[in-house]
Amino acid sequence: MKAIAVHPGTPNSMHLREVDEPALADVPHGRGVLVEVLRVGVDGTDKEINAAEYGDAPDGHDFLITGHESLGRVLAVGDDVPTHIVPGTIVVASVRRPGTSLFDAIGLQDMTTDDVYFERGINKRHGYLCERYVEDWRYITPLPSCLSETGVLLEPLTVAEKAIAQAFEIQRRIKVWEPRRAAVLGSGTVGLLATLVLRLRGIEVTCFSLPRPPYRNSELIEEIGGTYASTQDTDIKDHGEFDIVIECTGFSPLVWDGAQILAKNGVLVLVSVTGGERTVEIPSDHINQAFVLGNKVMVGSVNASPEDFARGRDDLVKAYAFYPGWLEQLLTTPIEGLENHEQMIRELTENADAIKVYVQVAARSGASSNGAAAVGANA
């Protein structure tokens, strides 16, 4: 079958290649799920992998199949797969797989303390930019058929879900926490999805980003009742204090602006992966003093737990109910077929207006909302 892969360590090595077909028996004990890939989203991590700044091949391979934001349809299942995953089910597979730390042993590999981590499509495990994959059912989230197109947003959504869930988890320290005002720094896919989750939790959100409104992303923020502010027109520090701040711009100096707009007892969550070497001067006495006297927290958050996938799925369904038509608008830039990988990288690196670039892997078919009958014969 066809797959998009890179040679880690070699810049711009993205290519199409023929790889072995996966088989149910690749996963032991009847736990395998064979999935037809429908669409796969790409993001800044894929950009860095193609630039050879990040990522590694599985041991014994000189290539890595990329793609970690998957959406697929089940073709066949092993004998020990529970009945909520059957041929025809729409599914998303998670990214990180267990290593050796205590946290990995209890299913929280997103909290691993190992130096080497295993992530499908990113580090030491092949990803989903191919025609079919096999996975252990325990790493698969089934979705209702209404998510058979927008479900590709689940993996990036889980990054926001974990960030917000971590904030709530941490705030159990203060016994009562009723956050009212949130700031989201950045209006890319994760910023938009973080705004969505916060709005679904009934929290007022101000999203700060560079471009001047109105433009697509500022309108999307306003459509779900958020406030948008361009940092070209206003100082982040002029908007009052926030109980929760999520930093997802990818520009690390803004962490320190985020720290300065945090209310007492507030939480600042950092989710940007910043591979560079940037340094910046900060008012450290002032920030430190306010953190100490105000019992404030700054926490990093990476990847997502199985619960974040389940909550993310539920929030996608809620988004349909509360904000019909909103999720679809994030899917700005489809690429038809794995063959068009050069266009995929071009859109990802050069199209500043794109929100989500994704590859439509399987040919679109009228049967997409209920594939069960179509695949029954193969199962």
Q: What is the chain's alpha carbon radius of gyration, rounded to the nearest angstrom?
A: 21
- Which tokens hold the place of 300? 């990093």
Nearest distance from residue 68's CB to Zn ion, in Å? 6
**Sole binder of ligand BGC in the list 16, 51, 224, 273 (CB under 6 A):** 273
Q: Considering only CA atoms, which of 162, 112, 120, 116 is closest in space to residue 140?
A: 120
Strand 15-18 and strand 32-42: pairing? unpaired
Nearest distance from residue 256's CB to ligand BGC, in Å? 22
Q: Considering only CA atoms, which of 119, 130, 94, 124 is closest in space to residue 5?
A: 130
Quick check: 122 binds ligand BGC (CB under 6 A)?
Answer: yes
Burial of 3 (0-12, 13-18, 19+ CB in 10 A): buried
Nearest distance from residue 156's CB to Zn ion, in Å? 6
Quick check: 357 binds ligand BGC (CB under 6 A)?
Answer: no
Long-range contacts of range 317-323, CB-CB < 8 Å, 24 or more positions apart? 317/144, 317/146, 317/147, 318/200, 319/196, 319/200, 320/146, 322/199, 322/200, 322/224, 323/196, 323/223, 323/224
- Which tokens hold the place of 152? 């590709």
Q: Considering only CA atoms, which of 307, 114, 316 is closest in space to residue 200?
A: 316
Interface residues for ligand BGC in 185-244 (CB under 6 A)? none
Query: Residue 157: which of Zn ion, ligand BGC, none does it interact with, CB under 5 to 8 A by kind?
Result: none
Quick check: 135 binds ligand BGC (CB under 6 A)?
Answer: no
Quick check: 247 binds ligand BGC (CB under 6 A)?
Answer: no
Quick check: 1 binds ligand BGC (CB under 6 A)?
Answer: no
Nearest distance from residue 202's CB to ligand BGC, in Å? 26
Nearest distance from residue 118's CB to Zn ion, in Å? 15
User: How many Cα atoms sit within 13 Å of 221 on the Cβ side?
Assistant: 28
Per rule CB under 6 A, count of chain residues that contact ligand BGC:
12
Helix (H) or strand (E) holding 2: strand 2-6
Instruction: Give 43 or 247: the residue with its C-beta nearer to ligand BGC.
Output: 43
**Sole binder of ligand BGC in the list 68, 162, 311, 356 (CB under 6 A):** 68
Nearest distance from residue 263's CB to ligand BGC, in Å? 29
**Sole binder of ligand BGC in the list 33, 45, 129, 182 (CB under 6 A):** 45
| Whether the Cβ atoms of residue 280 and residue 129 lie closer than 8 Å to each other | no
Q: How many residues does the chain have?
A: 379
Quick check: 95 binds ligand BGC (CB under 6 A)?
Answer: yes
Quick check: 303 binds ligand BGC (CB under 6 A)?
Answer: yes
Interface residues for ligand BGC in 324-343 (CB under 6 A)? none
Mark 8-47 with x for binding to Zn ion (rule: CB under 5 A) and - for no binding: -----------------------------------x-x--
H-type helices in the chain, by residue range? 44-50, 102-105, 154-170, 189-200, 216-223, 254-260, 284-293, 306-322, 341-350, 372-376
Query: Residue 302: which of ligand BGC, Zn ion, none does it interact with, CB under 5 to 8 A by kind?
Result: ligand BGC
Instruction: Give 243 or 247: the residue with its C-beta nearer to ligand BGC.
Output: 247
Instruction: Give 14 or 75: the residue with its C-beta nearer to Zn ion.
Output: 14
Query: Residue 135: which of ligand BGC, Zn ion, none does it interact with, CB under 5 to 8 A by kind?
Result: none
Strand 227-230 and strand 204-209: pairing? parallel
Q: Which residues bind ligand BGC (CB under 6 A)?
A: 43, 45, 68, 95-96, 119, 122, 155, 159, 273, 302-303
